[in-house]
Homo-oligomer: A and B are copies of this chain.
């Protein structure tokens, strides 16, 4: 049942007609508001204020659709440069996360890399950080290539890996020699069985296995480890493994999305965990939102409840 709902939501995310019409329904905007502070940089940074007070740092990402021509990538890069400068002037402890396709990966890989380098340099200059997001499985090789090239000159950069992919344990080993920053997520695309674990238990097991690998390696090399998951029980399991091996909670960060399990975010901070919240904003929220619902079909019930007065 959950799997069916998940496929339906992912289909809604991809389907053109749905994408054109669903976002305009008034209840959709109401339901999404809890997960997205708004369309503008101001909306996004405004949400950070409350979080800073709670000792929760932030990562910002502008939601975007696939590009059709290269100048759009320049606009996206310019937007992130403006965002970085606004983060700086607002004195917010904020980092940024970008999708390579938003910066033109599909159109011109070199141009995409040039944008990443510009953003990495700007982030570095103000003590911020650039995260490279991971998209569906067709992009993994190119994204890791970009990350490795970038990381050679810009150490304040990290990449996202997806635990549901069977290849990820191997990707981790490939990256370990460069002491990477890795944001580990479960994965939210609709990938076939041959390349991705379908069963939740298998994904969780893979997630924990990779986290254990990263944490143990962090004792002998400087890694940055972001646990990008809302599965608090899994985070606790990982913390138990870390604690058993004498690895402190400070060795990793828990990264959750704005508005999802907000109470648990605060509880984690109180329990001594480092927590970062990813704030996604912008008018192109529809696909992103559908994928978030698909990730945890329980969220659909939550979204439906928003419709009641």
Give the B-binding residues of A (Cβ under 8 A).
166, 169-170, 172-173, 197, 200-202, 204-213, 216, 233-234, 237-238, 240-241, 243-246
8 A-B residue pairs with Cβ-Cβ distance under 8 Å, sorted by A, are A170-B240, A202-B204, A202-B233, A205-B234, A206-B237, A209-B212, A209-B241, A210-B241
Q: Are B173 and A244 in contact (CB under 8 A)?
A: yes
Which residues of the partner chain B approach A166 to less than 8 Å between Cβ atoms? 240
Which residue, A200, A207, A209, A244, has most C-beta atoms of chain B within 10 A? A209
Q: Besides A169-B245, A202-B237, 13 other CB < 8 A contacts?
A: A170-B240, A200-B201, A201-B201, A201-B205, A202-B204, A202-B233, A204-B204, A205-B209, A205-B234, A209-B237, A212-B213, A213-B216, A216-B216
Which residues of the partner chain B approach A216 to less than 8 Å between Cβ atoms? 213, 216
Which residue, A201, A207, A240, has most C-beta atoms of chain B within 10 A? A201
Partner of A205, one of B207, B245, B246: B207
Complex: how many Å from CA A216 to CA B233? 24
Which residues of the partner chain B approach A241 to less than 8 Å between Cβ atoms? 169, 209-210, 213
* 4 closest Cβ pairs, A-B complex: A201-B201, A170-B244, A205-B208, A169-B244
